[in-house]
Amino acid sequence: MKYEEVRGMRIPVIGYGCWGIGGEMSANPARDARSLEALRTALKLGYTHFDTAEMYANGHSEELLGKAVRESAVPRESLFITSKVSAGHLYHDDLLQACERSLRRLGMEYIDLYLIHWPSSSIPLEESFRTLNRLVREGAIRHIGVSNFDLAQLQQAAALSETPLLTNQVPYSLAQREYVQNGVLAYCQAHDILLTAYSPVEEGRLRTNAALKEIAAAHGATPYQVALAWLASQPRVIAIPASQDAGHMHENLAAAEIVLNDEEIQQLTGLA
């Protein structure tokens, strides 16, 4: 596995996105067996970074992730667990309670990385970070990050965080370059902040063309793997593809081992 080394930590460039685990916006117990099997498979394959949120399946994703971890032989300290607080829970008391609920659902004593899922237009960021900083000091969370923040919001968040901001999680893929165009990626790379790419293969709707297929064939890989390898080739970029198919999960993890040459990277970068 390839890692990004940041703030004294080694974070795998390919993590496991838990969107769809246990449901989508609401819990769907009919999905539990498949969701648990996917999480167990991910742990067996060697995934160590798991990304969830209180919004995913209305908290049920966190419950299933915690259950899978407890049932596995994988030590908690070898895992890197990310969760997110929803935009409606960013007032001081609400945020404290949201974090407590996430910890309880996960069945864990701490969350490695806790993100503001979406910026709020009505709740001052200063108040939210006052609470997040307190949660770090108290040990409930170890690192702070944000998600879906534009450049100005990211700069404000970095200034308000008492500990170095660890990531901005945003949509980023071969087709989705908004956070390159708006300066967020360059800012992250210049300030030692990870850009975590979600929907990195566009939820399985990756558009292929001759160049992408040719590069994939040269590496004995799928176009999806090459799309992930392109992201992983960039400094301070990691990706969290979501899949419950064992074959795809294996391929996603293996994508980190694909080494693209400079010409291939330039070709892929020029596809936008």
pLDDT tens for each residue of 180-197: 999 999 999 999 999 999
Structure tokens that stand for 155 in this block: 């700069």
Angle at 252 between CA 50 and CA 76, to 5 degrees: 25
Q: 264: pLDDT confidence band, cut at 50, 70 and 90?
A: very high
What average pLDDT does the segment 8-32 reach? Answer: 96
In a domain, 153, yes or no: yes
Q: 124: pLDDT confidence band, cut at 50, 70 and 90?
A: very high
Tally the domains of the chain.
1
In a domain, 118, yes or no: yes
Q: Report the chain's mean pLDDT, rounded to a whole number.
A: 96
In a domain, 172, yes or no: yes
CATH number at residue 17: 3.20.20.100
- Distance from C-alpha of 61 to C-alpha of 36, rounded to nearest angstrom: 10
Kindly tell me if the per-residue pLDDT of 31 is higher than 90.
yes
List 56, 114, 179, 198, catalytic entry? 56
β-bridge pairing 237-239 and 194-198: parallel
Q: How many helices (H) and strands (E) does the chain have?
A: 11, 10
Kindly tell me if the per-residue pLDDT of 272 is higher than 90.
no
Q: Are 187 and 152 in contact (CB under 8 A)?
A: no
pLDDT digits (tens, 9 = 90+) for 37-73: 999 999 999 999 999 999 999 999 999 999 999 999 9
pLDDT digits (tens, 9 = 90+) for 196-253: 999 999 876 788 888 899 999 999 999 999 999 999 999 999 999 999 999 999 999 9
Question: What does the buried/exposed string (b/e) look like for 151-177 if buried means 16 or more CB atoms within 10 Å of the residue's CB?
Answer: bebbbbbbebbeeebbbbbbbbbbebe
DSSP 201: T
Residue 89 CA to its chain's centroid (Å): 20
The alpha helices in 29-124, defined as continuous H runs, are 32-45, 60-71, 92-106
In a domain, 218, yes or no: no
Provide the pLDDT for residue 1: 84
- Domain range holding 137? 3-205+234-252
In a domain, 226, yes or no: no
Residue 142 CA to its chain's centroid (Å): 16
In a domain, 130, yes or no: yes
Residue 198: burial class (beta carbons within 10 Å; 0-12, 13-18, 19+): buried
Provide the pLDDT for residue 247: 97
In a domain, 184, yes or no: yes
Whether 179 is catalytic: no
Model-level pTM? 0.96
Provide the pLDDT for residue 209: 86
